[in-house]
A and B are shown apart, each in its own frame.
Chain A
Amino acid sequence: MQYVSPISQQMPVINDNNAGQFIDPLVDGHKRLCALRPRDMQAYPPGRCGFAALRPFTQYTKEQLIERIKQRDAARSGLRHILDSKGVPVKDQGGLPYCWIYSGVHTVEIAYAVQGDGYVPLSATAAGALITGGQSRGGYGAEAIDFLSKQGTCREQDWPEHQISTRNNTANVQAMAKNNIITDWGELPSGNLDQLAAAVLNNFPVTIGLSWWGHQVTIIDVVILPTGQIGFVFNNSWGLRWGDNGRGVLTPEKARGDMFYPISVRPRPDAVRTAAGLYRLAT
C-alpha cells in the first residue's frame, strides 16, 4: 500500500481543475489581491545570489523522495513540524497587493525560528512600503529577497502591518531592521521542481512566484497526496481563515515559478524578542 502523508483533509489541494477558484478570492472581508508582477530581468537577472559558493541541491529519485518524506513525517523534522511546534503562524497581507514581500518576509521569520532565534512577527508592510515608496502596488520575489538581504525589516510592533505610509520609517525602525536581515540567500532554477523539493527537504523555506496565480507563496513542505502525486505545502499570506490555518498544497503542475530561499539570517539579540520598548539595536 502506498504511503500518504498525514495532512489535514481541510487543506486545499490546488490542481489544474480547480485553480481558477483561488484567484482574487474574498477572505475575512478583504478582496485578496494576487499582485505578482513580471520580474525586471535587467535589474534582477536570474542566477544572482547572495552567496558565491552555491551549488545545486542533490536531487532525489521518486523512490528516494517518498522514503525521505516518510522518514521526516515519522521524525517530525520538517519545516511544517517545526513551525507548528513553535507556533509560527501564516501572515496576513489584508487588502494590500504585497504577497511578494509578505512571502519573502515569512521566509525570514521561518529561518529565524529554525535556527533558534525565536519567532518574532516581522513587518512585511514596512519592507514593502520602503521598496515601493509607500505605494500600494505589486512586485516580485527577486526585489523582495534583495531588499531583505540589504535592509532587513523591523518587527510588526515597530511598524504595524497594513499601514503603508512611509512616515512610519523612523530611526528606530531602520535600526531594528538590521536585527532581522538575510545574510545569505540563493535562487533555484525557475520551474525546477526537483530542486524545489530538494531545497525544502533540506528545510530551506522557498518563496515562489506563481505566474498562473499572479501570486507569491512560501513553500514549507513536500508531501505525498492520496493520488500518489507529490504535493508542495505552502503558507499563504491571506490569514488563518484561508485554507487549513492559512495553508494549502500545490500539485506539481501548479508549483512552477521563480524561487528564492534564505540560507542564513543574522543571529539577533534576545532583546528583539521581548516586549515593546526594549530595543537593543544592532551595533
Chain B
Amino acid sequence: MNNKTIAVLCLVAAFFLNMGGGGGLNPVGPPSPVPGSGLHVLVVEDRLNRRDLPAEQFDAMMSADVDELIRKNNGRKYLYDQNQDVSNKDDPWVKDAMKVPRPSLPWLVLDNNGKGTSEAFPKGPQAVSDFKTKIQQYLK
C-alpha cells in the first residue's frame, strides 16, 4: 500500500467518523460562535424582568431536568443577567460568550467542542423539551 492510498483511506475514515457522530469529540452541527472545550451552556436573562417571561420559557430556563442532562454530559450551565460583571470568572468561554450580540432576551449561547449556536432562547408551549432537544442535538 503506497502513501497515496493510505492518505485516501485516512480521509475516508475521517469522513465516516464524523458522519457517524463519534461522541462528544466531533459533535454534529454548525460551528460554534464561541468555540470551547466541553459542553457549555449560557442563558442570558433580564433578571429584573424575569416576572414577565412566559411560564413555559421560565420553566425551561430553570428546569432541573435540563440541568441534570447537562451535568450528566460533564457540561456547565450558567444563567446570568444581561448586566452581570463576569470579570471575576476564570473560564474564558464564559467571558467570550457574554460578549456575543443578543438581539433579544433571554438569549442562548451553546457550545460543545466547537459546534454550537447563539440564538433566542426557546419559547412556546414546548420550551422545556425544545431546550432539551437543542442540547441533545449538539451532544450527538
Contact = CB atoms under 8 A, between A and B. Distances in A.
Interface string B73-101: 00011111100111111110010000000
Interface in A99-120: 114-117
B46 to A, nearest CB: 11
A68 interface: yes
Contacts, number: 89
Contact of A282 (B48, B79, B88): B88
A58 B52 contact: yes
Given A116-B79, A202-B50, A77 B62 contact: yes
Contact of A76 (B63, B84, B89, B90): B63
Interface string A247-281: 00000000000000001101111110000000010
Interface size class, chain A: 35 or more
B64 A71 contact: no
Given A77-B62, A116-B79, A283 B67 contact: no
Interface stretch (A78-86, A164-172, A233-241): A78-86
- Looking at chain B's contact residues, the main secondary structure is helix
A280 B87 CA distance: 13
Contact of A115 (B51, B78, B85): B78
A211 interface: no
Nearest to A83: B64
Contacts of B56: 71
A271 to B, nearest CB: 6
B124 to A, nearest CB: 14
B115 to A, nearest CB: 21
Given A77-B59, A117-B78, A202-B51, A270 B64 contact: no
A267 B84 contact: yes
Interface in B53-78: 55-56, 58-65, 67-68, 76-78
Nearest to A79: B62
B87 A116 contact: no
A270 B68 contact: no
A5 interface: no
B62 A183 contact: no
Contacts of A267: 78, 80, 84-86, 88-89, 94
A249 to B, nearest CB: 20
Interface string A47-73: 000010111011000000000100110
B128 to A, nearest CB: 6
Contacts of A54: 48
A203 interface: yes
Most B Cβ at <10 Å: residue of A51, A267, A269, A282: A267
Contacts of B55: 68, 71
A179 interface: yes
Contacts of A270: 89-91
A193 interface: no
Contacts of A282: 88
A71 to B, nearest CB: 6
Contacts of B51: 57-58, 198, 202
B45 to A, nearest CB: 10
A75 B59 contact: yes
B62 A116 contact: no
B47 interface: yes
A117 B61 CA distance: 15
B27 to A, nearest CB: 21
Nearest to B127: A75
Given A57-B51, A77-B62, A116-B79, A85 B67 contact: yes
Contacts of B78: 115-117, 267
Most B Cβ at <10 Å: residue of A57, A75, A202, A263: A75
14 contacts: A58-B51, A71-B56, A75-B63, A75-B128, A76-B65, A77-B64, A82-B64, A115-B80, A116-B79, A202-B58, A263-B47, A266-B85, A267-B88, A280-B90
